[in-house]
Amino acid sequence: MAWGPQLVDEAGPASRRDASRDDLVGFRNPPVVEVVAAVRFDDLPPTEALALAEFWRARLADTFPNFAVQPPYSAPVEQFDQRFGIPDFSLDLSSIPPPVRMWLSNATGDELVQLQPNWMACNWRKVSPDATYGRWQARRRQFEQIFGDLHGWLRLRGTPLSANQCEVTYINHIRPEAGLWNSHSEAHRIFVGIGEITPAAGVRVEQTESTSQFIFDAVDGGIGRLHIKVQPAFDQKDGSPIFVTELTARGAPPEPSLAGVLAFLDAARGAVVTMFSATTTVEAQARWGRE
């Protein structure tokens, strides 16, 4: 089931937006548990790909001392033509081993940097129940510092980065609220246009999930795609019902530079925040302390 309302960017065209402003809808106690700002770039040469660990030791190890290795992440590439929805298939017969993804975290585990030869991401994760989300400007500053540092470090080695896609993801865990909702059958109390089917006699809604896509205006006439997923789940600790919502805005920057990447990330974040507000109920937003 998909939402009906179209995405309207209340902040105005991205190309005219002041990135230092934060005048979108905010919440004093948002249900967000993870925020990701990521960039995909042209593959680094094999020699430079191997040197990414050196970049961690030289520039990141003091802040992100914990090092782990994960399988590489294959960032989806948005296509804005008739082939949308048809998955691309490719078979790599190269003898070169696949690159690994470095997983770098700070001492408390709430800040994470992921780095591989064609992709970088900065994550904030809610690792304790009383943790407070540091808002987008903090996420943006961290991304700008690390990606800018990586770009400069590689440029000195003769290999500048060329960004080709950006991504912002917000993951929310929406928990039961007394007087608002208590079971997965009550999705309509949280989300606009979801779970409002009137069943036949003797039939009841058990749970509802949703996947939707929207196109949004990005920067300088460009566009991006916003994916929204709502999935019923259960808390692993106490078994209580929750709704996991994932909003991902993705697309190409207006130019492959750091400035172009930041401009698209701001537009993507604006689309995520605007659409989260448009697709959740007034009653639910009141519980999260809409400002």
How many domains would you assign to the chain? 2
Whole-number pLDDT of residue 289: 93
The answer to whether position 85 is within a domain reads: no
* Final residue in a domain of this structure, among 161, 182, 198: 161
- The more confidently predicted of residues 86 and 135 is 135
Q: Which amino acid is at 86?
A: I
111-116 and 119-125 strand pairing: antiparallel
16 found inside a domain? yes
**Domain check: are 154 and 201 in the same one?**
no
Residue 156 lies in a domain: yes
- In whole angstroms, give the CA distance from residue 186 to residue 195: 7
pTM of this prediction? Answer: 0.87
Q: Are residues 156 and 173 in the same domain?
A: no
Shared domain for 197 and 242, answered yes or no, is yes
Residue finishing a domain among 134, 161, 188: 161
Q: Calculate Rg over the CA atoms of the chain.
A: 20
Q: Residue 143 and residue 78: Cα distance in Å, rounded? A: 22
Q: Say if residues 228 and 245 touch (Cβ distance below 8 Å).
A: yes
> Do 52 and 147 fall within a single domain?
yes
For residue 80, being part of any structural domain is answered with no
- Write the pLDDT tens digit of every residue in 102-137: 999 999 999 999 999 999 999 999 998 888 887 899
**Domain's final residue, options 127, 161, 195:** 161
Cβ atoms of 184 and 194 closer than 8 Å: no
Same-domain status, 29 and 47:
no
Q: Do 198 and 133 have their domain in common? A: no
Q: Within a domain: residue 127?
A: yes
Report, as an integer, the average pLDDT of 135-144.
94
290 and 177 in a common domain = yes
59-72 per-position pLDDT tens digit:
999 999 999 999 99
Same domain, 181 and 263: yes
Residue 23, in any domain of the structure: yes
Q: Which residue range is the domain that position 237 belongs to?
A: 1-38+166-291
Distance CA 189, CA 180 (A): 7
Same domain, 110 and 218: no
Q: If residue 262 lies in a helix (H) or strand (E), which one and from where to where?
A: helix 258-278
Using CA atoms, how far residue 88 sits from 84, 92, 174, 222, in Å, is: 10, 13, 33, 23
